[in-house]
Amino acid sequence: MAVVSAFLVPGNPLPYLKPQVAGLSAFSSAMRQAGEAIKHSRPDTVLVYSTQWIAVLDELWLTRVRSTGVHVDENWYEFGDLPYDIYSDTALAKACVEACPSVGVKARGVDYDAFPIDTGTITAANLMGLGTRTLPLVVAANNVYHDAGTTEKLAALAVECASKADKRVAVLAVGGLSGSLIRDEIDLKEDHIAEADDDARNRQLLKLIESGDEKGLKAYLPEFAAKARADMGLKHLHWILGALGGRHRGARVHHYGPLYGSGGAVVEFVL
Domain ranges of the chain: 3-269
What is the C-alpha to C-alpha distance for residues 26 and 256, in angstroms, rounded to an integer?
9
Identify whether the C-beta of residue 237 lies closer than 8 Å to the C-beta of residue 173: yes
Identify whether the C-beta of residue 269 lies closer than 8 Å to the C-beta of residue 201: no
How much is the pLDDT for 110? 97
In Å, what is the CA distance from 111 to each residue of 78, 80, 95, 108, 215? 29, 26, 14, 10, 39
CATH superfamily, domain at 3-269: LigB-like (3.40.830.10)
User: Does residue 233 surpass a pLDDT of 80?
Assistant: yes
* pTM > 0.85: yes
User: Does residue 190 surpass a pLDDT of 90?
Assistant: yes
Helical spans, DSSP H, in the chain:
14-17, 22-40, 90-99, 119-128, 148-164, 196-211, 214-227, 235-244
Identify whether the C-beta of residue 145 lies closer than 8 Å to the C-beta of residue 75: no
In Å, what is the CA distance from 262 to each residue of 67, 118, 175, 195? 29, 19, 11, 9
Mean pLDDT of 4-20: 98
Give, as one character, the DSSP assignment of residue 44. S
How much is the pLDDT for 181? 95
Q: How confident is the model at residue 10 (pLDDT cuts 50, 70, 90)?
A: very high
How much is the pLDDT for 153? 98
pLDDT, tens digit, 9 for 90 and up, residues 13-50: 999 999 999 999 999 999 999 999 999 999 999 999 99
What is the C-alpha to C-alpha distance for residues 22 and 151, in angstroms, rounded to an integer?
34
pLDDT, tens digit, 9 for 90 and up, residues 106-137: 999 999 998 999 999 999 999 999 999 999 99
The residue type at 167: K
Give, as one character, the DSSP assignment of residue 208. H
User: Does residue 148 surpass a pLDDT of 80?
Assistant: yes
Q: Which residues pair with 140 in a beta bridge?
A: 49, 61
Q: How confident is the model at residue 1 (pLDDT cuts 50, 70, 90)?
A: confident
> What is the overall mean pLDDT for the chain?
97
In Å, what is the CA distance from 214 to each residue of 93, 195, 210, 248, 265? 28, 26, 10, 7, 18
How much is the pLDDT for 92? 98
What is the C-alpha to C-alpha distance for residues 12 and 83, in angstroms, rounded to an integer?
15
Q: Which residues pair with 172 in a beta bridge?
A: 7, 48
Percent of the chain with pLDDT over 70: 100
How much is the pLDDT for 27? 98
